[in-house]
Amino acid sequence: MSTATLEALAPAALSYKWTLADSYRCAKQLIEERIEGDFVECGVYAGAQCAAMAKAIIEEPEWDGRRIHLFDSFSGIPAAGPEDLEYLKAGHMAGLSACSLEQVKANMAAWGIPSKMLVYHPGMFEGTVPRSIRIGTVGPKIALLRLDGDLYRSTKVCIENLYPLLSQGGICIADDYALSGCRLAVDEFMQGNFSPIYWRKP
């Protein structure tokens, strides 16, 4: 991904700029290693991370059919629960970090991402994630799973349902591990999942 592209995406991302470069690098590596499956982000906001993943696909001489799944309410982060200590302390109300589906689609068009690569799953994760698996609109394999829903319950439903679809050699990114709710959801899940965790120092 060129520096110009990174600079174009960065203002639309809620994370650090280097996380965009990382989403791109992970996607690129998975394509090169031919790890089977689509790329998924749960919590897309304006879509910049998904666009970074898409850039890795677009750079290939031929589209390998890999798609990017965008899960989001498109109406912002819901109310925090008792596990989300930082959110409670800050007094955040429901609806924080909202970006509409129409705006995300407009962003993707402006960034040159072909719509055939994108699958939108609008609605609350608690409904859309299990339903999409059940009806087969996501899966059967995922190569890259990016969790960015901030809260305990948002992370929990996504990791419990989608991590089992991750291919061997696939990558899972928990963007909000520094937040107490996300960390608890990841730790609880990993306690029952006897696999090592690898991480790359940011």
Q: Which of 124, 133, 184, 190 binds ligand SAM (CB under 6 A)?
A: 124
Burial class (CB in 10 A: 0-12, 13-18, 19+), 97: middle
Return the SS3 of 170.
strand
Question: Which of 97, 100, 103, 167: binder of ligand SAM (CB under 6 A)?
Answer: 97
* Residue span 158-187 as binding mask against ligand SAM, x where in contact by CB under 6 A, dash where not: ------------------------------
Examine residue 49 and tell whether it contacts ligand SAM (CB under 6 A): yes
Choose between 28 and 156: whose C-beta lies nearer to ligand SAM. Answer: 156
Q: Of the candidates 1, 9, 66, 72, which one interacts with ligand SAM according to CB under 6 A?
A: 72
Q: Pairing mode, if any, of strands 118-122 and 142-147? A: unpaired
- CA contacts within 13 A on the Cβ side of 99: 19
Asked if residue 77 binds ligand SAM (CB under 6 A), the reply is yes
Determine the longest span between alpha carbons in the chain, in angstroms: 49
Helix (H) or strand (E) holding 168: strand 166-174
For ligand SAM, the closer of residues 36 and 105 by Cβ is 105
| Residue of this chain nearest to ligand SAM (CB atom) | 43
Q: How far is the CB of 68 from ligand SAM (least distance, A)?
A: 12
Instruction: Report in angstroms the alpha-carbon separations of 71 from 41, 95, 142, 195, 200.
Output: 6, 16, 14, 26, 25
Please give the residue ranges that form the binding site for ligand SAM (CB under 6 A): 13-15, 43-45, 48-49, 72-73, 76-78, 97-98, 124-125, 148-151, 154
